[in-house]
A and B are shown apart, each in its own frame.
Chain A
Amino acid sequence: MKNILSFSATLCCLILVSSPIFAQNTTKEINFEGLKIIYKKTPKQVITASLFVKGGTANITDAQQGLEVMALNLALDGGTKKMNKDDFAAKADKLGTSFAASGSADYSTMTMTCLKENFGPSWEMFNNAIFEPAMDESEFKVLKDQMIAQAKQRESDPDTYLRKMATEALFGGTDYAKIPEGTPATLETITIADVKNYYQNLLGKKKCYLVVVGNIEEKDLLQNVKNSLAKLPAGQLAKTPTFKSVTTADAIIKDRTLATNYILGTMNAPKYNSVDGPLFDFAIRILYDRYFVELRTKRSLSYAPAASYSKRTIQQPVANLYITTIDPKQSLLVMTDIINSIKKDGFTEKEVKDKKKSFLTRYYMTNESSAAQASQLGFCEASGNWKLFDEINTKISLVKLADLNKAFNKYMTVIDWAYLGKQDQVAKEDFKQLAK
């Protein structure tokens, strides 16, 4: 079977910034018996249905980190009152259907992915899991131990740990500092009673919306929703997570013996659902290209320089400057010099013209997968309006150089640095700030 380890020319994981979707005018919002449904019909045979639960890190306390993700996973993976875990898993295997739960700063999701021909029975299983999960104690223990092990592994992965350092430094004391998947310490204290109580009060039409992307007719979808998710209670309105912004320059350094050093700079960025959001998104993609050319191609300082617009903390998105390098001093200098140069001289007309084209390529590539589309539609809805998806095409085509430069300069001000690697290779003063 194909399951191969490969090495590649570019670092895909870092450049896969979330791309908007091709507007085919097939996306539709439906209010069905009080439940908001975002529906998009596509021609391929895979269907993705995601129930978004708003609130994210606002729903849990510091001590409850991991609780929501654990509850959703136990619901989807631990069998139902009608069907034990083994039978549930066997049936899903036969249908080729998968169920998955995940958490993020502003929302969690319960997702079903199935083949077109198996939507009916898959949907029934999905809803049985949502409405009547078994929440069995033995399954809870297995899941809890697994989540603790995963939390420990995340701490040993340099990229994940670096992001945790940066998140704590920026958002410490607010909801956005919480880790949705939990820490080893918080997960350890969670009991089955906690999970049951939490889940019982979590889902409701005021807090949830459904995103369905795939080859299914609207009437068939609604017929299925009628006897299932439409029966969710109204529930409570979702809370909005608290957050902080980058206000003062800082650098945190953590010593770890690694083959290379990991650096992440964090800066404020505009909300995606704002005039500046798409402009900033566009500008950062050009910055990524400049980093690639200067830091990698010309100076050979890194395999993996990157700049990205991280929109996943919806209330306070951030810009990330990233590199892994054995020469951190020079890399930090060049990374800030490039931004200073753009702030001084601006982007070029050619960069804007070319980037519009590659933006479109990425945009259509996202449109190939039902899962990617569901994820993007759901994210845009959480950001303010799913229509951001359709509108982005027009917005990008209208981008003007002057507006781009203005948006870039407005937000690229103060950098909060995080460093994971050999401590003796850097000093605090190496972590440069931008020219005033």
Chain B
Amino acid sequence: MNKFSLICFALLAALSASAQDRQPSNIHLTKLSNGLEVLVLEDNSVPLVTVEIAVKNGSFTESPEYNGLSHLYEHMFFKANKDIPSQEKYLERIQELGISFNGTTNTERVNYFFTLGSDEVTEGLQFLNSAIRYPLFLEKEMKNENPVVDGEFQRAESSPFFPLFNKFDHKMWGDLYSRKNVIGDHNIILTCTTEKMKVIKDKYYYPNNSILVVAGNIKNDDILKKVTAIFGDWKAADFDPIQKWPIPEIKPLNPADSLSFVVTSPNARVPALEIAWHGPDTRNDIKNTLVADVFSYILSQKNSKFQKSLVDQGYALNLSINYLTQKYVGPIQLFMIPNPAKFEESFKVLKQQIDQFDSPDYYTDEQIETAKIKLANGEKYSSEVTSEYIHTLTFWWASASLPYYFNYVNEINKITRADLNAYVQKYIKGKPCVKGLLLNAEQQKTLNVKNVDALFN
């Protein structure tokens, strides 16, 4: 363990030690003997319960020949299992229990959730248990689902922004593109067999790689008894999947590579620019994952120099900067719709702004404090709707940790101007980045754009 890792470890330990203090009083955490983490959230405002199970799976675990299959697996979850013989019967049971259901697949987490009347929580837990532990992966159901998942892909491809985002991700992640490409590859999806589903199950679907959340009009003690009875005999893996099948490290962007591009789409009506840097992650640089959020929130304020120089002056018609917290390289993404009437100037003004990101007067102390308040208030808003809030909790569980999340506001409040400058210098200013510009063919001709880098200089 090097010195840097030691610092991170110490910070993580500190977060863990104080986590209990910051944990909301209506949230209860337990770990079963098989390693299954259980989070119970009590909220009796409506007579509902939402049960969610999240697994550390997703595109980050996918080599190219498996790209898109965590997502396909997510779809197969809602099909036949040892207790329910077919997808039709599965859907019938959904109707009988009055369940609202869904699942989502992201880069570092797959989650499945059911909302139903709280007086039927036992049935909901049993239903979830059958699906997560005993899927049958019937050949016929698999063949039926391949084109459905591909249909979801085709809808994404129909967005005018798809050509930009897709090419962008190839440049950002290089030969590890599959690890960040959730939707996958057409051919891999359409030719996927049930054997591949079994491989995914045997690698990742274990209690000690999952968290179960039960939230709503319930009592912790009662739920723990039910959960233990139903999930207690789910056999743990004798390994940590992420250690056994390590995630390859993403190589830093290389300025010698071609990192800028122009892409055209006949359906694009407005130009769109995306710039992104490789940012911090929660394995190697926890502190800067927090600093990144504060920085983004400073620049999102309407009275920030960033917004005033670009939006108020009419150079940008839409402007945002965002950091996505991840365990494996979180991207720092800047998105701009340049005003076609001030097209060339908009890039130069943007460059001037980025060059000033670490200048002493680029943002005020008040703006730093406001960013912290906004982040703290955002957490209050996000907890309003319990059936959605639990997705936030499992996101943090997968990409950081629950102690990280429970201490988030506390740690954010410690961030200083020096921290912000250090973050900019470490991850943004002068660092290699990917630049992608989306135009339609006519705009490309009219605006005479061949090289994105040239627009900035």
Contact = CB atoms under 8 A, between A and B. Distances in A.
Interface in A2-52: 2-10, 12, 22, 42-46
Interface in B136-167: 143-149, 151-160
A367 interface: yes
A354 B98 contact: yes
A257 B325 CA distance: 35
A3 B95 contact: no
A194 interface: no
B324 A142 contact: no
Interface centre among A7, A93, A303 (most CB of B within 10 A): A7
Contact of B157 (A259, A304, A365): A259
Interface string A352-367: 0011111111101101
A292 B144 CA distance: 13
B293 interface: yes
B38 interface: no
Contact of A259 (B75, B94, B154, B373): B154
B103 A44 contact: no
Nearest to A371: B384
Nearest to B317: A149
Contacts of B143: 300
A2 B395 contact: yes
Interface string B372-388: 01111110110011111
Contacts, number: 225
B101 interface: yes
Contacts of A94: 370, 373
Contact of A90 (B71, B157, B293, B303): B303
B63 interface: no
Contacts of A392: none
B380 A96 contact: yes
A7 B105 contact: yes
A6 B106 contact: yes
A142 B311 contact: yes
A4 B106 contact: yes
Interface string A285-317: 000010011001110101110000000000000
A2 to B, nearest CB: 5
Nearest to B389: A368
A220 interface: no
A4 B117 contact: no
B65 interface: no
A351 to B, nearest CB: 8
Interface stretch (A152-160, A164-172, A271-279): A152-160
B85 interface: no
Nearest to B48: A364
A130 B84 CA distance: 57
Contacts of B66: none
A127 interface: no
A29 to B, nearest CB: 23
B337 interface: yes
Interface string B258-289: 00000000111110000000000000000000
B302 A89 contact: yes
A300 B148 contact: yes
A141 interface: yes
B100 interface: yes
Nearest to A92: B302
A138 to B, nearest CB: 7
B302 A10 contact: no
Interface string A310-349: 0000000000000011100000000000000000000000
A297 B87 contact: yes
A367 B317 CA distance: 35
A370 B96 contact: no
B174 interface: no
A395 interface: no
A369 B385 contact: yes
Nearest to A367: B46
B45 A8 contact: no
A368 B386 contact: yes
B324 A1 contact: yes
A357 B151 contact: no
B387 to A, nearest CB: 6
B103 A9 contact: yes
B151 A260 contact: yes
Contacts of A324: 151, 154-155, 158
A134 to B, nearest CB: 14
A85 B143 CA distance: 56
B182 interface: yes
B103 A8 contact: yes
A360 B100 CA distance: 10
A158 B268 CA distance: 11
Given A256-B267, A260-B151, A86 B98 contact: no
B374 A156 contact: no
Interface string A240-278: 000000000000000011111010000000000000000
Most buried by B among A42, A260, A324, A362: A260
Given A1-B325, A156-B160, A360-B117, A7 B102 contact: no
Nearest to B341: A145
Interface of B: 45-48, 71, 74-75, 77-78, 87-88, 91-92, 94-107, 112, 115-117, 143-149, 151-160, 182-183, 266-270, 292-293, 296, 301-303, 308, 311-312, 314, 317-318, 322-325, 337, 339, 341, 366, 370, 373-378, 380-381, 384-388, 392, 395-396
Given A1-B296, A257-B267, 4 more contacts: A1-B292, A7-B71, A354-B92, A361-B117
21 contacts: A4-B324, A4-B395, A12-B102, A85-B302, A89-B301, A90-B301, A90-B302, A90-B303, A96-B373, A96-B378, A113-B381, A149-B317, A156-B269, A158-B267, A259-B157, A292-B91, A296-B148, A297-B91, A303-B154, A368-B384, A370-B384
